[in-house]
Amino acid sequence: MSLFSLAGRRAFVTGANTGIGQAIALALAAQGAAVTCAGRRPSDETVARIEAAGGTAQSLILDLADPMAGRDLFAGEGYSILVNNAGIIRRADSLDFSEADWDAVMDVDLKALFFTSQGFARASLDTGTLPAAIVNIASLLSFQGGIRVPAYTAAKHGVAGLTKILANEWAGRGINVNAIAPGYIATNNTAALRDDPVRSQAILDRIPAGRWGAPEDIAGTAAFLCSPAARYIHGAVLNVDGGWLAR
């Protein structure tokens, strides 16, 4: 079997109805995984694209505004891959940022990620569905402060920390836990930045690759981290950013 094959494995991807999550679901399916595409809205387009390419997928409605919504989905289901991609962002000056926006971002981007991972790991260990892999979607703001996104920055710093502690606890038990820190990717979450010509140009000027990233730029890294080729990678936060952090 290829070092990069995911044949015979079952994957669960949150936020798979669009953007980075959709691209990751397609990439996992292309390597042979059967993919459950979870999202607040139906992932019918993602499923159709996977099936058209000869893969196997299903759509699942999952709203992680309830951070416990994913915790009990894994028992007895045979999943060995979890990609925690779902996330939201709220923008406002830190002087004006509301408690409601803070709690909404923390619930989806951090609390749900932890308890979904907990449920997945518990099921994997209980049933011996190992080796298993968890890939968290972090951010450049796991390393930097950003502007006007205090809750998102705090949550993504937390994602990096959770990735490390879960790797410390689970690496020796057959579960790889790693994260990807995407750079500036053309998705719904960055629409406000791309629509601001001054901010967009300032961002482009700093990216050595000279372009905004595409969701597909993240997908290959996710498939790699789920594969046997990444078996000895634990607790890493891999920046896939067109060279942004090297600048």
Residues forming the active site: 152
Best CA proximity match to 127, nearest among 176, 80, 71, 163:
80
Cα–Cα distance measured from residue 83 to residue 149, given in angstroms and rounded to the nearest whole number: 23
